[in-house]
Amino acid sequence: MKTLYYFIIPLIILSSCNQKSATSISMHTNDLIKETSPYLLQHAHNPVNWKAWNDESLALAEAENKLVIVSIGYSACHWCHVMEKESFENDSVAKLMNSEFVNIKVDREERPDIDQVYMTAIQLMTGSGGWPLNCITLPDGRPVFGGTYFTKDEWLKVLKELSELYKTNPEKVIAYAEKLTEGVKNSELISVNREEPNFTSIALDTTIKSFKKQLDYKNGGTMGAPKFPMPSSLHFLLRQSIQNKDEDLKSYVNKTLTKLASGGIYDQIGGGFSRYSVDEKWHIPHFEKMLYDNAQLVSLYSDAYLVSKNETYKTIVEETLKFIERELTHTNGAFYSSLDADSKNEEDELEEGIFYCWTKDELKTLLNEDFNLFKDYYNINSFGKWENNQYVLIKNKSDVEFMALHNLTEDLLHSKILEWKNILIEERAKREPPRTDDKTLTSWNALMLQAYIDAYRVFGNKNYLEKALKNATFIKQKQLRSDGGLYHNFKNNKSTIEGFSEDYAAVIKTYISLYEVTLDENWLAIANDLMTYTITHFLDKESGMFYFTSDVNKNLITRKFEIIDNVIPSSNSMLANSLFKLSHYYYNTSYEKMARQMLNNVKYDLETSPSGYSNWLNLYLNYASPYYEIAISGNNALEKLKELNTYYLPNILIAGASKQSDLPLLENRYNSDNTYIYVCVNGSCKLPRIDVEKAVKEL
């Protein structure tokens, strides 16, 4: 993969401006009132004449020859709310925006394709990105100027100078847009690696050494602040530490998971994780809670428990899933997207984190004689203090250390903790809660479905499987179209927006996993059908990689690839891993060649910047180390499977059936008298075993 960097001099140099103007919010309703996105609806009564992204809005800009403001954010975004209050609710700012621009609001979670294009433009212009993302474009959508958060005075200056420049010297603006658009199109170009694929354990060892240099062995996570959990990276490093017996990495992963579970980034009262912490010790979070973070962390803690049998990890899984069920689950089995970082304070104004924080006086009143014990456990002291005499709960002692210090038994401590949590969650329920973004996104739902599958696989809780099946059925019935494609969004009982490669990648991966715990081949068949659809409508045949948008999406300036693994693994890395698995299930050599070529295309970037390719590294490890197919056939296949799942076995796939099956791995292997376990490599199997433990020893 080749990345082109453009060093572009911005058209406008922002300078500080001291003039202030009074803000008054006019009673107004704009076109966003027709939308279903909670983020867009938050802006439906701005005096700005916001429009949604659609052909009509772009045609209006062309007809009136006006520059376009593409303003992108999401419901839980704190600084999006700040800019709305300062600028978009201001009559004088709105007047200028309405007279000189066509103004388009975009929910980045509904339309990640639009966000991807203009985020690339912002990064080329400024070297960084974030939200709110504000990009000014030509009437046809080609970017001219942009940035993230602007103060009101900065924003007014940008609008005045750029609108004036477009009137007096449009050729200069157009020329700049042409150059920038070319940069956007050429960024992250895919270079096809024509060399023979060769993925070796020696090269992987070198890559891991490079990866280790970025790790914070004291606090967990990566060096510096802010700190993001990055579950995909941690999941790979956990696998690497166990599969290749790396004790340093194993210790690092456990350190990180313990620090996360003890920190303010984890809601110690209600369960669930915030998006990131602003400090090195995971104390003060950016308080928004995202479905995708919590989903992936449940999967991670489940596997970590399987390795360590650490009861804290089990508690984290249980509490986080209770939070998901309580706060982010619809009765139809679908999952909502997020909880806001902000909620209303006593002055009826939005304030970040106010729902989750406590004053010392509040805690004394609520906990009475237990306050001193609680204070020491959750650091109601200088270590746990935030701002305005408020505290974010954080632990810096293990339960074993705390019990010894206070002469407590394990049962007594745990009963105290449960009592404290019940008291505080009941009190917290009296506060104004954060707003819920209740749209349902297919890709994020698949991640949460994966979490329930992994929790069921590890802990055997049938309730988790029921939740998983309910959500999988929702996706199949509501988001899977009759033509074989997927919708991206679901809201108000309506499925909308053509699915993106992230939707297909996540659902395919998860349906394969659902098959592996239920042995219901229908889920595997749907995954295979979805892969066929994805290849037909998303594949770039020249590079062998998948576009983010399908071939039916027409109104963007370019089609982009999603390659780098971030907080969520990239769609291409997920698809490559699934192609690898499906090639084994169906003996499909073309799938295997596709997966191998995709990995080969990113090989050099992976080896030089491994932290951005953690999910690709999972695939690399499949090729560089032994990888096994486990086939279980017989009447007791599910019972054998449950026993097998008590082991941490990241380098296997599972095929199984309690009756005759036409799957290549299971064909002609059913025996009504005994249930046999076959350990295979590329379809070549060892002698069958009846005993699970003996089969595992052959891996």
**514-547 confidence digits (pLDDT tens):** 999 999 999 999 999 999 999 999 999 999 999 9
CA atoms within 13 A on the CB side of 138: 17
Given a contact cutoff of 8 angstroms between Cβ atoms, the answer to whether 38 and 75 are in contact is yes
Given a contact cutoff of 8 angstroms between Cβ atoms, the answer to whether 164 and 150 are in contact is no
Candidates 620, 287, 295, 645; CA nearest to 459 is 645
For position 599, what pLDDT does the model report? Answer: 98
Joined tokens for residue 519 = 């042995």
Q: What is the pLDDT of residues 268-320, one digit of tens each?
A: 999 999 999 999 999 999 999 999 999 999 999 999 999 999 999 999 999 99
Q: How high does pLDDT run on average in the chain?
A: 93
- Classify 104 as helix, strand or coil: strand
For position 553, what pLDDT does the model report? Answer: 79
Angle between helices 442-459 and 501-518 in degrees, nearest 10: 20
For residue 7, pLDDT over 50 is answered with no
For residue 11, pLDDT over 50 is answered with no
Q: For residue 2, what pLDDT band results from cuts at 50, 70 and 90?
A: very low
Instruction: Work out the angle at residue 116's Cα, subtended by the Cα atoms of residues 597 and 562, and round it to the nearest 5 degrees.
Output: 15
Q: What is the pLDDT of residues 478-520, one digit of tens each?
A: 999 999 999 999 999 999 999 999 999 999 999 999 999 999 9
Q: What is the pLDDT of residues 89-112, one digit of tens each?
A: 999 999 999 999 999 999 999 999
Given a contact cutoff of 8 angstroms between Cβ atoms, the answer to whether 32 and 52 are in contact is yes
Candidates 643, 628, 623; CA nearest to 679 is 628
**How big is the chain by its Cα radius of gyration, in Å?**
26
Q: Which residue has the higher pLDDT, 524 or 187?
A: 524
As a whole number of angstroms, the distance between CA 133 and CA 593 comes to 39
| Length, in residues, of the chain | 699
- Centroid of chain to Cα 623: 26
For residue 206, pLDDT over 90 is answered with yes
For position 342, what pLDDT does the model report? Answer: 87
For residue 663, pLDDT over 50 is answered with yes
For position 78, what pLDDT does the model report? Answer: 86
CA atoms within 13 A on the CB side of 63: 6
Given a contact cutoff of 8 angstroms between Cβ atoms, the answer to whether 603 and 561 are in contact is no
Given a contact cutoff of 8 angstroms between Cβ atoms, the answer to whether 129 and 143 are in contact is no
For residue 14, pLDDT over 50 is answered with no
Inter-residue long-range contacts of 270-275, CB under 8 Å, 24+ positions, other chains counted: 270/319, 270/323, 270/326, 270/327, 270/425, 270/428, 271/316, 271/319, 271/320, 271/321, 271/322, 271/323, 272/319, 272/320, 272/323, 272/324, 272/327, 273/229, 273/297, 273/320, 274/341, 275/76, 275/228
Candidates 189, 186, 195; CA nearest to 603 is 195
* 109: amino acid identity, one letter: E
As a whole number of angstroms, the distance between CA 494 and CA 501 comes to 20
For residue 8, pLDDT over 70 is answered with no
For residue 1, pLDDT over 50 is answered with no
- Centroid of chain to Cα 492: 23
H-assigned helices in 485-613: 501-518, 521-538, 571-586, 589-608
For residue 268, the 8-state DSSP code is T
Q: For residue 237, what pLDDT band results from cuts at 50, 70 and 90?
A: very high
As a whole number of angstroms, the distance between CA 116 and CA 297 comes to 24
Q: Give percent of the chain with pLDDT exceeding 70.
A: 96
Q: For residue 635, what pLDDT band results from cuts at 50, 70 and 90?
A: very high
For residue 344, pLDDT over 70 is answered with yes
As a whole number of angstroms, the distance between CA 163 and CA 152 comes to 16
Partners of 133 in beta bridges: 72
Given a contact cutoff of 8 angstroms between Cβ atoms, the answer to whether 563 and 190 are in contact is yes
Least confident of 180-184, 262-266, 413-417, 516-520: 180-184
As a whole number of angstroms, the distance between CA 337 and CA 491 comes to 11
The count of other CB atoms within 10 Å of the CB of residue 699 is 13
Given a contact cutoff of 8 angstroms between Cβ atoms, the answer to whether 132 and 83 are in contact is yes
186, 410, 477 from 485: Cα distances, Å:
28, 52, 12
CATH of domain 31-186: 3.40.30.10
183 by Cβ neighbours in 10 Å (0-12 / 13-18 / 19+) ranks as buried
CATH of domain 201-341+437-624: 1.50.10.10
Q: Give yes or no on whether 31-186 and 201-341+437-624 have one common fold.
A: no
Domain ranges of the chain: 31-186, 201-341+437-624, 356-430, 628-697
3-state secondary structure 561-576: ECCCCCCCCCHHHHHH
Buried b vs exposed e over 345-376: b needs ≥16 C-beta within 10 Å?
Answer: eeeeebbbbbbbbbeeeebeebbeebbebbbe
For residue 21, pLDDT over 80 is answered with no
